[in-house]
Chains A and B, each alone.
Chain A
Amino acid sequence: DIQMTQSPSSLSASVGDRVTITCRASQITDSYLNWYQQKVGKAPKLLIHSASNVQSGTPSRFSGSGSGTDFMLTISNLQPEDFATYYCQQSYTTVLTFGGGTKVEIK
Chain B
Amino acid sequence: EVQLVESGGALIKAGGSLRLSCAGTGFTFENAWMSWVRQAPGKGLEWVGRIKSKLDGGTIDYAPPVKGRFTISRDDSRNMVHLQMNSLKTGDSAMYYCTIDQYYYGSGDHYWPEHWGQGTLVTVSS
We find that the number of chain B residues with CB closer than 8 angstroms to chain A is: 25
Q: Are A95 and B64 in contact (CB under 8 A)?
A: yes
Which residue from B35, B45, B63, B64 sits with its C-beta under 8 Å from A44? B45
Q: How far is the CA of A32 from the CA of B37 in the complex (A)?
A: 18
Between A34, A89, A96, the greatest number of chain B beta carbons within 10 A of the residue's beta carbon is seen for A96
- Asked whether, in the complex, the Cβ of A96 is within 8 Å of the Cβ of B116, the reply is no
The residue among A1, A30, A43, A99 with the most chain B CB atoms within 10 A of its own CB is: A43
Interface of B is mostly: strand
Known pairs A1-B64, A94-B61; A46 contacts B47 (CB<8 A): no
Q: B-side interface residues toward A, CB under 8 Å?
A: 35, 37, 44-47, 50, 61, 63-64, 97, 102, 104, 106, 109-119
Report, nearest first, the 9 A-B pairs whose CB atoms are least far apart. A96-B47, A43-B116, A91-B112, A98-B45, A34-B112, A101-B44, A91-B110, A94-B61, A100-B44
Binding site for B on A (CB under 8 A): 1, 30, 32, 34, 36, 38, 42-46, 49-50, 55, 87, 89, 91-92, 94-101
